[in-house]
Structure 1
Amino acid sequence: MDDPVSEYTARLLQQEKEIKLLSAEIERLKDPQSLDFSSTGLDELREENIRLKYRLNILKKSLQEERSSNSKSMTNINQRLQEIFGDAISVAYPDLEDPPLAVTPNQQAKFGDYQCNSAMAMAQMMKSKGQKVNPREIAEKIVQNIPDNELIEKTDIAGPGFINVHLKKTFVSKLLTNMLMNGVQPPTLDKKKRVIVDFSSPNIAKEMHVGHLRSTIIGDSMCRLFEFLGHDVLRLNHVGDWGTQFGIISPPISDLQAFYKESKKRFDDDEEFKKRAYQCVVRLQSKEPDFIKAWNLICDVSRKEFQRVYDCLGIQIIERGESYYQDRMTAVVKEFEEKGLVELDEGRKIVFTPGQSIPLTVVKSDGGYTYDTSDLAALRQRLFEEKADIIIYVTDSGQAMHFHVVFAAAQHIGWYDPKVTRVEHAGFGVVLGEDKLMDLLEEGLKRSMDKLKEKERDKVLTPEELALAQHAVAFGCIKYADLCHNRINDYVFSFDKMLDDRGNTAAYLLYAFTRIRSIARLANIQEAALRKAAETCEIVLEHEKEWKLGKCILRFPEILQKILDDLLLHTLCDYLYELATTFTEFYDSCYCVEKDRQTGEVVKVNMWRMLLCEATAAVMAKGFDILGLKPVQRM
């Protein structure tokens, strides 16, 4: 008997070969030298072009369906619909270049499950070219050219040209079964990328504050997302370990923070002290042995303090401070000088980039380097030595202009092409209301225990379970309170709000998750039995709340894709909250476990609904993991 895997691979290769041949033929028909410009010839060519495009779309659809049926990955429904509508538009309007493609989930179920809103934008596009077409007519033509597919049950056109899409229940049921059997898997990667996320980045000899907390939480979550998607992620802590603070202080010091504050006051008030401090920095940068020894002692004290925070929050990060790039800074300055991009300005060496009003200072008048120099050296190292495809800087929004100019200079000198390499500053607003970081984390632990005791959880949980719940709630709430806000905005830190178990909070979601997990225990169904049931039990989606929940579960891949595009993690928080509330609606309306009212014994288990419970919990657990939350089985 032939090997089915080999047969499948051969089919895919043959289809891909046909697609390439058809695509080449379509491109040939675009070449003016190959065309017959007689009226008859043009009509024939147009018809041939349409036939070829139609054949190409059929092959693409066949290839996609082959891949999806043999893939363990979760299907991105929105993406599949965009492909279908993109193909329909290209067949309906072959002469329209780069037509707009807009497919979104429908907020109101009565209008269908998804909606394509391309017709109105296409009408505007055509109007600008002198073609007046009614958007509704465009929508009708698009619908007429939708190829047969396994997703769409039917479409209808509403208003001025909205195309409402109704999904097939069998298709949604099949996707849910696939997810239950294979777990919550990431989409198939076209290419594994090298991703560097620069986050946390406190300053040695200074106390970590809530601004560093935001960077740490947001950066860690971004890393978790890229890691889940299968990329090669390097988590970097670009600590400030080579600045003026080392000229201000000297060891041995037991309380580094207090000593730094006193020294900083003297630095601000005493010009002679300030001059000596700057001289010390230059001697450190010159690597004089005594200064290097003192510097190492100061760094070690700070590292221990930082690690306390990282241990509390479960953060994995590699320290690579400004000092790491020290030797590379000289080479960077030389490279800019050799390209004729450096100007002298009152003893300083500066770089002006075309289109930028602010220059970068690469060498100070005393011969020392600056943040500009170290950030250029770091970016160059990451591009050429690490060979990064994506570099994300997670710092406060106040540094946006600095990074904008650094990136512009790197592009100007030819280090990278933004169309090929993604280099981005993910800025965030400030946190209002709190400052001391370790005090804040310890207060979180105290308050979460108070909350658990208030709910009398200490009476039903073992001491070990209570401690796990305390840490899950405390640190989960602090992380979630940060991530659930749009990172661009400022937000007010409030323990009362974040520990509230009502509304869009970690406390609510963690409690909701443990309740969902408890349903299977209530029905005495083991995890192995649920997995077995997924193989044979069809997930029925007849009740409107079953249907709503099933669709909501399957939106997870498109939510992740959106975050990958804009790096706004509050979208995932909003989705998890929507999933939890949608589940509550389902559970209130649809019996999963039916009991005898008098004896309390389980008399019936609706297994397809238990599978919906399991699918909800699986997606929530993966969402928590990306956000850095640790759920517990009992709370």
Structure 2
Amino acid sequence: MGDPVNEYTARLQQQEREIRSLSAEIESLKNPQNLSPSPHLDQLREENAKLKYRINILKRSLQEERIPCSKAMTNINQQLQEIFGEAIRASCPELDNPPQAVTPNQQAKFGDYQCNSAMGMAQMLKAKGVKVNPKEIAEKIIQNLPDNELVQKTEIAGPGFINIHLKRPFVSKLLSNLLINGVQPMPLASRKKVVVDFSSPNIAKEMHVGHLRSTIIGESMCRLFEFLGYDVLRLNHVGDWGTQFGMLIAHLQDKFPNYLTVSPPIGDLQAFYKESKKRFDEDESFKKRGYQCVVRLQSKEPEFIKAWNLICDVSRREFQKVYDCLDIQIIERGESYYQELMTKVVKELEEKGVVEMDEGRKIVFAPGQSIPLTIVKSDGGYTYDTSDLAALHQRLFEEKADMIIYVTDSGQSTHFQLVFAAAQMFGWYNPQVTRVEHAGFGVVLGEDKKKFKTRSGDTVRLMDLLDEGLKRSMDKLKDKERDKV
């Protein structure tokens, strides 16, 4: 199979060559020297008529082929702008950049569209010392309209409005195409890659109602980009690294001491998290063990890595229930994925000379920003700033994304503003070439009017919400006896 756009272009070029050839033949037949009395005069006249008929067929075919062969939707307003733009320029050639105001008609009984350019053109002429009635300009515009397949008739109304009525066969053809082929986007000039970072729950905590917006908005964006022909990469930047894993591993060791040989039956992850958090907050010796477990996890000791994997796997199974329910396929790349890259990014920034020391911390100020990014804490650990810089670096240089979109609540807008400004300062990307955006949205509040926090463990489970939504929908359908239809 060849490229349909190339095939379409070749067909257009071939038809245009044929038209030029036929036009030359017609001009040749019009030459009096070729029309001197001869026994073949009638035959030549017949051939002339055939050629004219053929050239008209080809012109109509060309007009139809101007709409790409992908059955993409026709932009009626754009075509009317071109048609009336040509007429407007021909009506007042002395005006530079005359207004081309073609808009849908607010009152359908007066027409489908309306051209309001005449009044503006009259004002421009008046400024040049030429007084003209806008109605006269409107009449000139109508007289200069080129042949087209859109406009059935025009009417001048009021001070100089031009009401435009579309040809019914043209509209009917568009609607038929829409019904048969559905909505079809215009083909992209080149296939571009889009990375969409969305959903992003925290490992060891079940997804709650607050995760629904990011998940739904992000997936909707991905489906729209795919429909338009983009190469889409869905990424789930989960929180799977950090100090909370120390307390979870310590609690796992106490509750399931044989976890290395027997898979622990953690049925309710929410309850498991709440138990460990309570101990961490109330028991100093347990808190100390928790911090020790973090250090040993970050040192990648095998038994601690196994404990970490066990906890992550329980979370993933719970997350997957939600994604299966919503028909979402997303690739997980948590904070742990970028651990080695974070070290490289910090080294790169130090070599660039943009890192400053602040009470033991390593910070970076982006241009025009009053708040710094903390890339290394005073204890030598990394932060969200470091992991998001590393993630952006990977998406720009390894994924080679043309567009990167972060779908999180608006509370993180300042954070992403800092990250994006810093990345531009480092020379990682040019915003005129690569689009990096934060798509923010509002948050779901609890009864206390505060944002839900998974760390407290007191939130509405998203899976419960989805199940309840399905149940209520089914009850409504049964109330209306739709189950009997």
Question: What's the TM-score, normalizing by structure 2?
Answer: 0.72
Match of 2:243 in 1: 244
Match of 1:110 in 2: 109
Give the direction of change, closer, same or farther, for the CA distance of 1:138–1:209 in structure 2 (3 Å limit). farther
Q: How many Å separate the matches in 1 of 2:157 and 2:366? A: 51
- Whether 1:456 aligns to 2:481 is yes
Q: How many Å separate the matches in 2 of 1:115 and 1:272? A: 78
Structure 1 unmatched runs, 5+: 17-60, 461-635
Match of 1:339 in 2: 352
Amino acid at match of 1:179: L
Give the direction of change, closer, same or farther, for the CA distance of 1:354–1:174 in structure 2 (3 Å limit). same
Q: Which stretch of structure 1 is more off in the superposition, 297-306 or 157-166? A: 157-166
Shift of 1:190: 2.1
Amino acid at match of 1:178: N
Give the direction of change, closer, same or farther, for the CA distance of 1:8–1:458 in structure 2 (3 Å limit). closer
Q: Is the 8 A contact 2:122 2:137 kept in 1?
A: no
Q: Is the 8 A contact 2:70 2:184 kept in 1?
A: no
Q: Is the 8 A contact 2:122 2:134 kept in 1?
A: no
Give the direction of change, closer, same or farther, for the CA distance of 1:151–1:205 in structure 2 (3 Å limit). same
Q: Which one of 398, 404, 414 corresponds to residue 401 of structure 1? A: 414
Give the direction of change, closer, same or farther, for the CA distance of 1:382–1:144 in structure 2 (3 Å limit). farther
Q: How many Å separate the matches in 2 of 1:144 and 1:221? A: 47
Within 5 A, what are the aligned runs for 1:211-610? 211-250=210-249, 251=252, 252=256, 254=266, 255-268=268-281, 277=290, 280-431=293-444, 435-460=460-485
State the identity as a percent.
Answer: 76
Provide Cα deviations, 1:39-94, integer angstroms capped at 9, x if missing partner: xxxxxxxxxxxxxxxxxxxxxx9987533174422223344345556666777679
Q: How many Å separate the matches in 1 of 2:427 and 2:313? A: 38
Shift of 1:354: 0.9
Q: How many Å separate the matches in 2 of 1:428 and 1:131? A: 53
Match of 2:40 in 1: none
Q: How many Å separate the matches in 2 of 1:71 and 1:248? A: 57
Q: Is the 8 A contact 1:139 1:162 kept in 2?
A: no
Structure 2 unmatched runs, 5+: 1-5, 18-59, 257-263, 447-458
Shift of 1:321: 1.4
Q: Is the 8 A contact 1:391 1:423 kept in 2?
A: yes
Match of 1:189 in 2: 188
Which protein is richer in helix relative to its size? Answer: 1
Q: How many Å separate the matches in 1 of 2:277 and 2:398? A: 37
Q: How many Å separate the matches in 2 of 1:282 and 1:142? A: 79
Q: Equivalent residue of 2:387, what SS?
A: helix
Q: Equivalent residue of 2:67, what SS?
A: helix
Give the direction of change, closer, same or farther, for the CA distance of 1:442–1:184 in structure 2 (3 Å limit). same
Q: Is the 8 A contact 1:326 1:374 kept in 2?
A: yes
Q: How many Å separate the matches in 1 of 2:238 and 2:94? A: 54
Provide Cα deviations, 1:157-194, integer angstroms capped at 9, x if missing partner: 66787665432211111112333444443322222211
Give the direction of change, closer, same or farther, for the CA distance of 1:71–1:437 in structure 2 (3 Å limit). closer
Give the direction of change, closer, same or farther, for the CA distance of 1:14–1:241 in structure 2 (3 Å limit). farther
Give the direction of change, closer, same or farther, for the CA distance of 1:265–1:107 in structure 2 (3 Å limit). farther
Q: Is the 8 A contact 1:205 1:298 kept in 2?
A: yes
Shift of 1:277: 4.3
Q: Equivalent residue of 1:426, what SS?
A: strand
Give the direction of change, closer, same or farther, for the CA distance of 1:200–1:110 in structure 2 (3 Å limit). same
Shift of 1:234: 1.0
Give the direction of change, closer, same or farther, for the CA distance of 1:131–1:325 in structure 2 (3 Å limit). farther
Within 5 A, what are the aligned runs for 1:612-623? none
Match of 2:209 in 1: 210
Shift of 1:305: 0.5
Match of 1:48 in 2: none
Shift of 1:316: 1.5
Q: Which stretch of structure 1 is more off in the superposition, 279-288 or 235-244? A: 279-288
Match of 1:151 in 2: 150
Shift of 1:95: 7.8
Q: How many Å separate the matches in 1 of 2:466 and 2:170? A: 46
Provide Cα deviations, 1:385-425, integer angstroms capped at 9, x if missing partner: 11111211111111111112211111221222222222111
Shift of 1:283: 4.2
Tell me how large the CA RMSD over aligned residues is. 3.9
Match of 2:177 in 1: 178
Q: Is the 8 A contact 1:139 1:157 kept in 2?
A: no
Aligned length: 409
Within 5 A, what are the aligned runs for 1:82-101? 82-84=81-83
